[in-house]
Amino acid sequence: MRAWFPYPLLLIALLVMWLLLNQSAAPGSIVVGVVLSTLLGWVTVKLQPTQSRLHRLRQIGSFSLVVAADIIRSNVAVAGTILRARRTPTNSGFMTVDVDLENENALALLACILTATPGTAWLEYDRRQKNLLLHVLDIENEDLWRRTVKRYAAGLKEVLK
């Protein structure tokens, strides 16, 4: 059973997604959905994903609220910067932050969060020295950005293990 369906949760999620996208529970679409999700499950085995478990579900809520607030604030700030770009030159620059994350999924999530925050762009993560090279649009608040990224990293470390 395990050999045929290596990731049962993924299979169910893909099947539900397929049915919702098709907006039908007809036998035909169920069959196609099962075949597709089984095939994709085998593909996933080849990709060898690192599995990690979610911890402290209650913290996930507050963490995502903080992230959402930061993203909205950064959206507004960057929009202002762009609109003012003609008059005042942008004050952007590179910065490095020490991020001590081993977990690949946590790193991927951090990348998603930092990319969704328009003020920051992820450039490079050095696995050996565990530091992250970022480009930020307003380098004046360098300390603020550093603290934010560290807080995200700490939060992700607690939530994903």
Partner 1 sequence: MSHMTDLPSWAAIVVCGLLLLGAAMTLIGSLGLLRLPSFYDRLHAPTIATSGGTILICLASMLCFAVLQSRWIFHEMLIIFFVTVTTPVTLMLLGQAALYRDRVEDRRDVPHKSKPASEPDAE
* Candidate list 97, 117, 145, 148; residue touching partner 1; CB under 8 A: 117
**Which residue stretch of 7-15, 27-35, 114-122, 150-158 sits at the interface with partner 1 (rule: CB under 8 A)?**
114-122
Q: Which of residues 26-55 bind partner 1 (CB under 8 A)?
A: none
Burial of 47: CB neighbours in 10 Å, binned 0-12, 13-18, 19+: exposed
Q: How far is it, in rounded angstroms, from Cα 127 to Cα 79? A: 33
**Which residue type does 126 have?**
D
Tokens of 106: 């946590």
Q: Which of 10, 66, 78, 139 binds partner 1 (CB under 8 A)?
A: 78
Q: 45 or 123, CB closer to partner 1?
A: 123
Q: What are phi and psi of 145, to 5 degrees?
A: -60, -40
CB of 70 to partner 1, least distance (A): 11
Q: How far apart are CA 43 and CA 61, in angstroms?
A: 32
| Alpha-carbon distances of 104 from 2, 51, 69, 111, 160, rounded to whole Å | 24, 9, 25, 11, 10
**Contact with partner 1 (CB under 8 A) among 52, 59, 62, 90:** 90
Beta bridge partners of 124: 133
Beta strands per DSSP E along the chain: 93-98, 120-126, 131-136
Min separation Cβ 1 and partner 1, Å: 29
Which stretch, 30-38, 48-56, 59-67, 86-94, contacts partner 1 (CB under 8 A)?
86-94
Using CB under 8 A as the binding criterion, the count of chain residues that bind partner 1 stands at 38
**Binding interface with partner 1 (CB under 8 A):** 17, 20-21, 23, 71-72, 75, 78-79, 82-83, 85-86, 89-90, 92, 94, 96, 108, 111-112, 114-124, 126, 128-129, 133, 135, 137
